[in-house]
Structure 1
Amino acid sequence: MGKRSPLTAGQWAPRAVPETRRPDATSAGPPARRPAAWQWAARAALPVALVLWLLSLRHVNLGAMTDLGLLQVLPVLFWVALGLLVLGFCAALSDRRTRGGWFLAHVLALIAILHATPALLYPTLRYGWAWKHVAVVDAMIRNGGSVPGAEKLDVYDQWPGFFHLNALVLQATGLESALGYAVWAPPVTNALLIAPLLLIYRSVTTDRRLIWGAVWIYYSCSWVGQDYFAPQAFAFLLFVTLVALLTSQLRASAERPPGTPARAWPPGRFLAVVLIMAVIVCSHPLTPLMMISALVALSLPRRNRRVLLPVLGAGVLLTLVWDATVARPFVSANLGEFVGALLEPDSNVVSGLAALGTAAPGQVQVSWIDRSLSAAVFLLAAIAFLRRRWTRRTGLPLLVLAPLPVLVANAYGGEMIFRAYLFALPAAVLLISALLFETRRRPRLRVFAVVPLLLAMLGGLLFGYYGKESANYFTEDEVAATRFVTATTPPGSLIVSLTSDVPGLEMNYDKHPRVQLNEQDLAVRRRLVRDPIEGLEPFIDGATEREPAYIVLSRAQAAECYLNGTLPADTMRRMDTAMAGTWGFVPVFRNKDAVVYRYQNPDRAESS
């Protein structure tokens, strides 16, 4: 390999092979032979881990989940399988002759164990927001596009790209609903991320140990859970793909031989980049801002600007045009809030760090582990920046810092700190991989020395990803209750729930006003706790002059109240008891996990 020209700090350094790896890559002579027993043991770990994982799912008591969700009901065999998979991956990583197919197989197995476990265990779709997005797709198909009377959900009409795409899939395939394949969104989304992640990392280094180590660490630390059936998961996949195309083009531009005609982009590739940005802009409100911030960060080094400035200009133009036209109602209504948030950067940063005093004891533990894992990721990335000088000549540090301007500018409903972590993670993990796995001496010893750290990362992810499953999991009885409500209630009827954890209650959301009690202000919640009937009156009396109101209580709602503490854990039981003894409230559906009450205004009932 020829001598490289000096690179400025922060400049993208295509295929910047670490200095310490070059002797390995160019050393003459055949590599040392390892014992056959070691080789077979390393390769056998993968299939054995998969078999143990599948066996561990045979008898899992989902009803026993409380504070720590799936963590407390998964059998020992599950943890043995996961540990064995980590050891097998490290064994493959310690031998530089291991082919890429083995690394890919280990990563796919990790994705299966982490993200397919709920899909295999649960009888219904996981997570209330996933059900909500299925309902939006259904409503857009019924209405031929935007949904009238959507109220709070009209934001989806202004960023409809994800929903229109799924509507096209349903209409092309003849499927009745996205519910069937939405169950598999987490494992599929994570599997699709592998390709752009590899393209990004191969634009930086040729060391397969660093590349696959980074991919593994990404899936070991991505605890935020934005991979379900949602516009954010779709837009994030496109964002990572966009970054992969940009870094690949930067590499190609830097490696162009002297005297070659300067051309920043081949027309076809530039068109593909603009198309991806257009889909991002029409699919999600936050991701375009993260996209622009990343493009600005990567454009700071002068040498990158010829490639990136045309893309940055196109991205800014697309975002401004969309926000000024299709998304104008939302932007206009919230402009004052956006401007006000700019004046409170400290509040925006800490908004997601909710107070833990009212949360369940297990949730306090989960929250601190999530925070610790996130802090550890940034700390290890910072150490890598200091210890591995070659990483400073890449765009990785800039991509890690790129979400910070968006973080200080807006709280995004208290979720911005988690989204900033999500968008910084793909770049941060390659820095961490360089810190952990880059070595000239005894690479096998180095790899196995970090096994405890890799296991700790996975443990932290599982607390964040599985720790709230008692509220994210829905039984078939809960689904039956909400299907009864959405199928039988007259249009215009008010539907009341304690929390958002009700599977499918948004079906026909354009026909029913909704009230979610845990979102009300503190005075309303205190009144509800003091007297459930008095707490309900302001909502149901004013909304039942024409049609009755329906109050839905279910197991998952009680679980969410217990986990996050916004309402006392016994609120649902007390509401059930109070309504059962109050005239006007009629139980119209009940099973072991849910009950539905109908309330008809007494004056209206008598006049009828």
Structure 2
Amino acid sequence: MNRFSTDSSLRSITDLRRALFFPSHWTARWPVGTTDFAAGTRRRAGSRLRYSDISVLAALSGLASMIALPTLVRVVLLAVLLFFGPGAAILSWVRIPRTAVPAALPILSISVVTLMVSVAMWGYRWSPRMWTLLLCLALIASSVLWYRKHGLPDREGWIARTREVVSPASRKATLASIRFVLTDRRTLRHNVAGLVLALAFFLWLPMLPGLERATYSQFGLLTAGTGPGLVLCMVLIIAAFLIALRRHQLRTMVVAIGLAIVVQRFTVTLVTSAPIYDWTYKHVAVTEYILDLHKLAPSGVDIYSEWPSFFLVSAWFQHVTGYDTLSLAHVFAPMVHVVLGASIYGLARVMKFTKRAAITAAMLAEVINWVGQDYYSPQAWAMLLAVGFLALLMSSPLTRAAAYVSIVPFAALVPTHQLTPYWLMAVTGVLLVTRRAKPWWLMIPLGIILLGYLYPRLPIVAPYGLFQGFDPVQNAASNVQEEGVLGKQITSLVCRALSGGVFALAFVSAIYAWRTKKTFWAPMVMAFGSIMLLAGQSYGGEAIFRVYLYAIPGCVLLITPLFLTLFDREPSQVRSSRAARVTARTSVAVATAGALGSAVLGLQAYFGLWPIVLEHRSQIDDARAAAAQSPSGTSVTMLYSSGYPARSTSDYGRLTEANQYWDVPLYALGPEYMEGFPTPEKLGEIDYNASISGTPTFMVLTRQSLQAMHYYGFVPDDAVNRFRQWLATSPAWSLRYHDPDTIVYQYRSR
């Protein structure tokens, strides 16, 4: 009896291991309908989650988020509603290809919420908790109607399944299987990729304190503190991904993508005390204004009030959960990358990629996305909506319902960002005209939404320049023209090399796809359609960054088939000649080197500006306190806007209404102003402007801004020292605040 029990246990563990790593064996071992086990399988299959079930669970999660629970618990509960609830309700009634679901489900959900909160604000009915309640009730009602037509969930099946999962026998079997997997040599040999990922993770963890204490390096984070270890971790992750790719281990490939996001983006969250980038805080300020005053800022304050949807979603989320804006901004980038990875996977599946190829496309999109447009911003939210829209649009040849539903994310996108919907409209027009998407008349409702939203806002947009002249070269120029130090030159070269390499490889891949009769037109339109933006707009020197960001999904769709063709060559199977075997090995080596090289270059491009984009919590706290205590008309001047985000609270509204240029840094006045700075004439002008103001004037020097002046080479180093000496010795300026990273001077009224 004991021997029989032991043998049965071993067989169960072996079967579980094979199910985890050899799924095809499981099907062969347990054919449906032949045993009692198969009957149990059929019962559990009947109790699988349906879209209507997901909708109800998301609604209940949203209702629970309004209960007095710990803040992080409420954040998770409301996030379930945000990313799954409305999308599941729509998909329970609308049939779209299953391949589009990874993109459609979360994007339709956030689109509905985006439209909901926008309508609430425009209709002067801003009440986040009330709208959350109404949304949850609507989702439950939708599911009830669906249940009346298709039947209620299998309650007994779910109860039996839950009991089975939580039973002591199940826990023991799970622990035994894990122990077996970790000690079985055959399993470990088969999961080399998983072991490499584990190694990368456990190497990354002890690096975090060293990254947090990293000092200034003109080459960025990768050469400071334990920064070089990030390169090693990323190389290990890509190596593990390639091993799993070679062995068709799809789950391990997905884990590798997740770990890549952790190392590249979540590292920033863990080693900083506040969100990076000074410009992040301008968006924080808009959200704070909505939270504090329950309305949008007047149109003259900034352009964000005319495209407010992202800020309204953020304010809704924070109002319901109690989560503060800085904390949300701090974790925003990793969250965006998770959703973006799922959306690109869904888009690739819609384009008839296999699961393996689609996961590869998602990983390539992650490693080449150096551009840093994933911070707390409308364009990051807009990018998610755009990729989800494209996935639905490209599903339209299979089902017209997908085309109709695609109007939802487009409608949510239009009031979210000023630029993204126009690129997307142009791409959509080409795809519809060339019949890669259907129906052709979809352009009509999309055009009505887009132009109908723009027309009443033309007087507001016109001063920013709708068309700045046909000069693609000038429009593609960066917003920083100075040569800077060696570290800046190398980082800029890395950014250009990676971006140019991606575009060049995408072009070569398009030719390869055309010659081999593979799909190329739609991805090519997505990849190169954004270049047309350079025909008439510089977008404040940021157009080139948006061009690359928008091109990433299309580029990876083009590159992935060629990459897999090279990587999947089997030298051992090439027996015709030695030259053919060498060619096969070379192609695998080229693909491997390209993946590893892109990952390393992407890291350097992303972390190259590390010292000057850091923001410390002490600096933010003082900037916020100063803004709260300052009367309207106050001026805050810096050499370079980094380290002291003056515009980070709702007070920015009244301060900007009084003086639109109250926080403009000196470098923004142009190269002509900075030439020869600080001359006696310019110092006298600063004194004179402060003396006639009648309101406080602050001059702020931060460690980051001084490093930026040196990094970009705006002025010689001795000029910065002379300016600091002038402030310290001038009787007109007094020291207001001082810490190791910040010095704030205030002009003394006479």
Q: Give your verdict on TM over 0.5.
A: yes
Q: In structure 2, how many angstroms separate the alpha carbons of the residues matched to 1:448 and 1:40?
A: 22
* Structure 1 residues 536-562: Cα deviation after superposition (integer angstroms, max 9, x where no partner): 2354234x22x1211121111112212
Partner of 2:11: none
Note if contact 1:558-1:570 (Cα within 8 Å) is conserved in structure 2: no
Partner of 1:328: 458
**Aligned-pair distance for 1:517?**
0.9
* Structure 1 residues 199-224: Cα deviation after superposition (integer angstroms, max 9, x where no partner): 11112234333222221111111111
Q: In structure 2, how many angstroms separate the alpha carbons of the residues matched to 1:395 and 1:427?
A: 8
Partner of 1:166: 314
Note if contact 1:385-1:391 (Cα within 8 Å) is conserved in structure 2: no
* Structure 1 residues 5-47: Cα deviation after superposition (integer angstroms, max 9, x where no partner): xxxxxxxxx99xxxxxxxxxxxxxxxxxx97554132221112
- Aligned counterpart in structure 2 of residue 65 of structure 1, from 216, 232, 241: 216
Alignment of 1:238-249 (within 5 A): 238-249=385-396
- 1:414 and 2:546 aligned: no
Give the 3 Å change call, closer, same or farther, for CA 95–149 of structure 1 in structure 2.
Answer: closer
Higher relative contact order (CA 8 A, sep 6+): 1
Structure 2 letter corresponding to 1:457? S
Note if contact 1:384-1:431 (Cα within 8 Å) is conserved in structure 2: yes
- Aligned counterpart in structure 1 of residue 703 of structure 2, from 547, 551, 555: 555
Give the 3 Å change call, closer, same or farther, for CA 398–36 of structure 1 in structure 2.
Answer: same
Give the 3 Å change call, closer, same or farther, for CA 192–223 of structure 1 in structure 2.
Answer: same
Note if contact 1:366-1:463 (Cα within 8 Å) is conserved in structure 2: yes
Partner of 2:279: 129
Partner of 1:188: 335
Note if contact 2:200-2:236 (Cα within 8 Å) is conserved in structure 1: yes
- 1:344 and 2:485 aligned: no
**Per the alignment, in what secondary structure is the counterpart of residue 490 of structure 1?**
coil
* Structure 1 residues 132-180: Cα deviation after superposition (integer angstroms, max 9, x where no partner): 21111112333332214864xx1111111111111111221233x3111
- Aligned counterpart in structure 1 of residue 200 of structure 2, from 49, 57, 63: 49
Structure 1 letter corresponding to 2:429? V
**Aligned-pair distance for 1:232?**
0.7
Partner of 1:398: 525
Note if contact 1:385-1:431 (Cα within 8 Å) is conserved in structure 2: yes
**Aligned-pair distance for 1:61?**
5.9
Alignment of 1:199-210 (within 5 A): 199-210=346-357
Partner of 1:29: none
Q: Percent identity?
A: 24
**Per the alignment, in what secondary structure is the counterpart of residue 60 of structure 1?**
helix
Structure 2 letter corresponding to 1:442? E
- 1:104 and 2:254 aligned: yes
Partner of 2:748: 600
Note if contact 2:212-2:272 (Cα within 8 Å) is conserved in structure 1: no
* Structure 1 residues 238-285: Cα deviation after superposition (integer angstroms, max 9, x where no partner): 1111111111223x14xxxxxxxxxxx22xx45542221122111111
- 1:495 and 2:627 aligned: no
**Per the alignment, in what secondary structure is the counterpart of residue 652 of structure 2?**
coil
**CA-atom RMSD, angstroms?**
2.5
**Per the alignment, in what secondary structure is the counterpart of residue 406 of structure 2?**
helix
* Structure 1 residues 343-372: Cα deviation after superposition (integer angstroms, max 9, x where no partner): 334422x32285343x12101011011111
Give the 3 Å change call, closer, same or farther, for CA 318–596 of structure 1 in structure 2.
Answer: same
Structure 1 letter corresponding to 2:652? Y
Note if contact 2:698-2:744 (Cα within 8 Å) is conserved in structure 1: yes
Partner of 1:22: none
**Per the alignment, in what secondary structure is the counterpart of residue 734 of structure 2?**
strand
In terms of fraction of residues, the more helix-rich structure is: 2
Partner of 1:89: 241
* Structure 1 residues 356-398: Cα deviation after superposition (integer angstroms, max 9, x where no partner): 43x1210101101111111111111122122233345541112
**Aligned-pair distance for 1:426?**
0.8
Q: In structure 2, how many angstroms separate the alpha carbons of the residues matched to 1:277 and 1:60?
A: 40
Structure with bigger gyration radius: 2
State TM-score, norm by structure 1.
0.83
- 1:451 and 2:592 aligned: yes
- 1:384 and 2:509 aligned: yes
Structure 2 letter corresponding to 1:230? S
Note if contact 1:94-1:443 (Cα within 8 Å) is conserved in structure 2: no
Note if contact 1:481-1:594 (Cα within 8 Å) is conserved in structure 2: no
Alignment of 1:275-354 (within 5 A): 275-301=408-434, 303-304=435-436, 306-307=438-439, 309-325=440-456, 327-334=457-464, 337-339=465-467, 341-348=468-475, 350-352=476-478, 354=480
Note if contact 1:66-1:559 (Cα within 8 Å) is conserved in structure 2: no
Q: In structure 2, how many angstroms separate the alpha carbons of the residues matched to 1:538 and 1:502?
A: 26
Structure 1 letter corresponding to 2:453? W
**Per the alignment, in what secondary structure is the counterpart of residue 642 of structure 2?**
coil
State TM-score, norm by structure 2.
0.68
- 1:442 and 2:561 aligned: no
**Per the alignment, in what secondary structure is the counterpart of residue 339 of structure 2?**
helix
Higher mean alpha-carbon deviation, 422-431 vs 60-69, is at: 60-69
Q: In structure 1, how many angstroms separate the alpha carbons of the residues matched to 2:703 and 2:317?
A: 33
**Aligned-pair distance for 1:448?**
5.7
Partner of 1:18: none
Note if contact 1:298-1:304 (Cα within 8 Å) is conserved in structure 2: yes
* Structure 1 residues 295-335: Cα deviation after superposition (integer angstroms, max 9, x where no partner): 1221231x33633x33322222212111112x33322324x
Q: Report how many aligned residue pairs link the two structures.
A: 542
User: Can you give the 5+ residue segments of structure 2 that lack an aligned partner in the other structure?
Assistant: 1-97, 100-184, 573-584, 656-661
Give the 3 Å change call, closer, same or farther, for CA 173–209 of structure 1 in structure 2.
Answer: closer
* Structure 1 residues 88-120: Cα deviation after superposition (integer angstroms, max 9, x where no partner): 111100013x2x322211101101100111111
**Aligned-pair distance for 1:601?**
3.6
Alignment of 1:504-515 (within 5 A): 504-506=645-647, 507=649, 508-512=651-655, 513-515=662-664
Structure 1 letter corresponding to 2:510? F
Partner of 2:674: 525
**Aligned-pair distance for 1:501?**
1.3
Give the 3 Å change call, closer, same or farther, for CA 206–525 of structure 1 in structure 2.
Answer: closer
Alignment of 1:203-218 (within 5 A): 203-218=350-365
**Per the alignment, in what secondary structure is the counterpart of residue 587 of structure 1?**
strand
Q: In structure 1, how many angstroms separate the alpha carbons of the residues matched to 2:258 and 2:594?
A: 20
Note if contact 2:403-2:438 (Cα within 8 Å) is conserved in structure 1: no
Q: In structure 2, how many angstroms separate the alpha carbons of the residues matched to 1:598 and 1:150?
A: 28
**Per the alignment, in what secondary structure is the counterpart of residue 735 of structure 2?**
strand
Give the 3 Å change call, closer, same or farther, for CA 324–486 of structure 1 in structure 2.
Answer: same
Q: In structure 2, how many angstroms separate the alpha carbons of the residues matched to 1:451 and 1:457?
A: 10
Partner of 2:47: none
**Aligned-pair distance for 1:466?**
0.2
Give the 3 Å change call, closer, same or farther, for CA 206–276 of structure 1 in structure 2.
Answer: closer
**Per the alignment, in what secondary structure is the counterpart of residue 598 of structure 1?**
strand
Note if contact 1:533-1:579 (Cα within 8 Å) is conserved in structure 2: no
Q: In structure 1, how many angstroms separate the alpha carbons of the residues matched to 2:436 and 2:212?
A: 55
